[in-house]
Structure 1
Amino acid sequence: MTDHAHDLRAVREATDRLLSATRKLNDEDLARPSRLPGWSRGHVVAHLSRNADALVNVLQGRPMYADSETRERDIERGAPRPKAEQLADLADSAARFADTASAPADWSRTVTLRNGVTDSASRIPFRRRVEVELHHVDLGIGYELEDLPDEFVTREIDFLTERFAGHSDVVSTEVVADDGRSWSTGGGAEGAPVVVRGSAGELLGWLCGRRDGSALTVDGGPLPALPPL
C-alpha cells in the first residue's frame, strides 16, 4: 500500500539534495546541455519547477497543464533565466507542492494527470519524487543512478516493469538484479522470452530510457527495445 506521508518526506529529502547540488552551479553551467536531448540544464530546472505547480493543480482538482503548448512554452521561457531566479523558482514551487500535499485530504481519491491518465492521489508524492530524482541525474552534475536510494530504485523498477507488462511491442522478459531480485514484464509481442540481468542501477537506466542497456547481459535473444515513456 502506498504511504503518501513517507513519500512526501522522501520528496523533501530528494529536493534538498537537488537544491544543494544546483546551488553550486553558475549561469554558464545552467546554460550547458543536460543529458536530455535538446534540453539545457536550465530546461530541466524550469521543467521541475513547473511540474511541481502542475501537481499542485492535480491535487486541487484542476487540469495538470492548460495544454501541451503552454507547458512547453513555460519551460522554454524559464530555461534561460539566471541562476538566482531559477533556484528561487525551484525552491518556491517545491514548497507550494509540499504545502498542498501536506494538507488533510482524501488520499484514496482518483486524480487526473496529463493525457487523461488517472491515478490515486496517494501516488502523487511518489510521482513527484520520480521527477526530482531522475531529473537530478539528467542534469549531469555528479548525481548518478547508482546514487539513488535503493528503496526508490526498487519501487521505480516495480512501476516500470508493471507499465510494460503485456505490452504489444515487448516480448516476455524477466528482469533480474545482481542481488537476486527479479521482475517480469512484456509478454505481448511474439518471440522467445528473454532474461535481462544487471545491477539495479543499470536495469533502472534501461527501463527509464537513461541508459542503452549495453552494460546488461541478455539470455534468449536481443535486448528488448522498450517503448517511450
Structure 2
Amino acid sequence: MTIDPLVLMTDVDQATERLIRTAEGLEPGAETAPSRLPGWTIGHVLTHVARNADAYTNLLTWARTGVETPAYATPTARAEGIEAGCRRPLDEQIADLRDSHERFADAAAAMPAEAWTFHLAATGQSAAVVPWARLREVEVHHVDLGRGYTPEDWSDAFALRLLREIVAGAGKDAPALVLRPHGLDHSLSIGTVTDGTPTIGGPTRSIASWLAGRTDGSDLTVSPDGGLPTPPKWK
C-alpha cells in the first residue's frame, strides 16, 4: 500500500493534534499515573512520542542532506531520553509534543521530491516510509495512554495499513493464522498455513489491534471453534 508521504503528513498533523487534546484534558499530575504499557507512566508515553518525532526528523534530515544523521545519537539515547523527560510537569510535556511535531513537519516540508527515495540504512527502506512510521507511533501510543482513545477511533485506512504491515513483518516462523477482516474480499495469512490453521474473523480494527497487543480480541471469531491463539509478538 503506497501513498504520497506529504499527503500522509496531513494524517500525522491531525493524529498529533488529537493526542495533544487528550493530553490537555488530563488532570495535573497525570504524568505519573500508569499507562497501558507495563512499567510506563503516562509521562513515559508522552515523552517517547516527542523524542520519536525528533528521531524521525533526524532521518528526514539524513535523507535530504545525505549527511548521516542517526535517529538516536547512541544505542542508549532512546531509553535515556525517555527516562530523562518522563517526570516533567504535564504542561512541559504538551509543549514538547507540539514543538517536536513542528520540527518534524518542517523537516517533511523541506524534503525535495527526490529525497523521499533516499535509502535509509537505519530502516532498510526509503525515506518515504517515515511519515507512515510516525503516524503509527502517534496512533498506537495514543491508545496506550489509556484515557479514552481506543482502536475504535482509528480510521479504516490506518487500521488496514497497520494490519497489512503486521502481517508482512510476521515472518514464516510466526504462529500460523488465517485472517478474515470484514469487508476485505480476500484473507491474509501469517506463518505456514495448513488445513488445521485457525481462521480469525472480525472488524479490521479489531484484528489489527489484537495483533498489535492493544486489545484482547474478545470481539473476534475463531474457526474451528476454540480460544484465540497467542498472536505473534509485535514491537
User: Normalized against structure 2, the TM-score is what?
Assistant: 0.88
Task: Tell me the SS of whatever aligns to 1:42.
Answer: helix
Separation (CA, whole Å) in 1 of partners of 2:76 and 2:193 = 34
Change (3 A) 1:191 1:69: farther
Moved more, 72-81 or 25-34: 25-34
AA paired with 2:191? Answer: G
The residue type paired with residue 104 of structure 1 is: M
Give the alignment partner of residue 166 of structure 2, picking from 149, 160, 173. 160
Confirm whether residue 199 of structure 1 aligns to residue 206 of structure 2. Answer: no
- Cα distance, 1:41 vs. partner? 0.5
- 1:11·1:125 contact (CA, 8 Å) conserved in 2? yes
Residue 215 of structure 1 and its aligned partner are, at CA, apart by 2.9
Q: Deviations over 1:73-94 (max 9, x none)?
A: 1101101100111111110000
Unmatched runs of 5 consecutive residues or more in structure 2 = 63-68
C-alpha deviation, 1:67, in angstroms: 2.8
Question: Alignment partner of 2:199: what SS?
Answer: strand
In structure 2, the residue matched to 1:84 is: 91
* TM-aligned CA distance change 1:182 to 1:207, over 3 Å: farther
User: In the alignment, is the contact (CA less than 8 A) between 1:19 and 1:87 conserved in 2?
Assistant: yes
Q: Does 1:14 align with 2:9?
A: no
Letter in 1 for 2:148: G
CA distance in structure 1 between the aligned counterparts of 2:61 and 2:5, rounded to whole angstroms = 16
| Superimposed CA distance per residue, residues 100-151 of structure 1 (whole angstroms, 9 cap, x where no aligned partner) | 01113321121133xxx31111110011000111111110111110011111
AA aligned opposite 1:48? V
Task: Note the residue ranges of structure 1 that are not aligned, 5 or more in a row.
Answer: none
User: What residue number does 2:141 align with?
Assistant: 135
2:167 and 2:189 in contact (8 A); partners too? yes
Number of positions where the alignment pairs a residue of Structure 1 with one of Structure 2: 224
Aligned residues: percent identity?
37
2:120 corresponding residue in structure 1: 111
Deviates more, 1:208-217 or 1:86-95: 208-217
CA contact 1:174–1:182 (8 Å) conserved in 2: no
Please list, as runs of the form range in 1=range in 2, the aligned pairs for 1:1-229 lying within 5 A after superposition. Answer: 1-61=2-62, 62-105=69-112, 106-113=115-122, 117-164=123-170, 166-171=171-176, 173-188=177-192, 192-220=196-224, 223-229=229-235
Deviation, 1:24, is: 1.2
Normalised by the size of structure 1, how large is the TM-score? 0.90
Q: Output one character per residue of 1:28-62: Cα deviation in whole Å (capped at 9) or x when no partner.
A: 22211110110001000000010000001111221
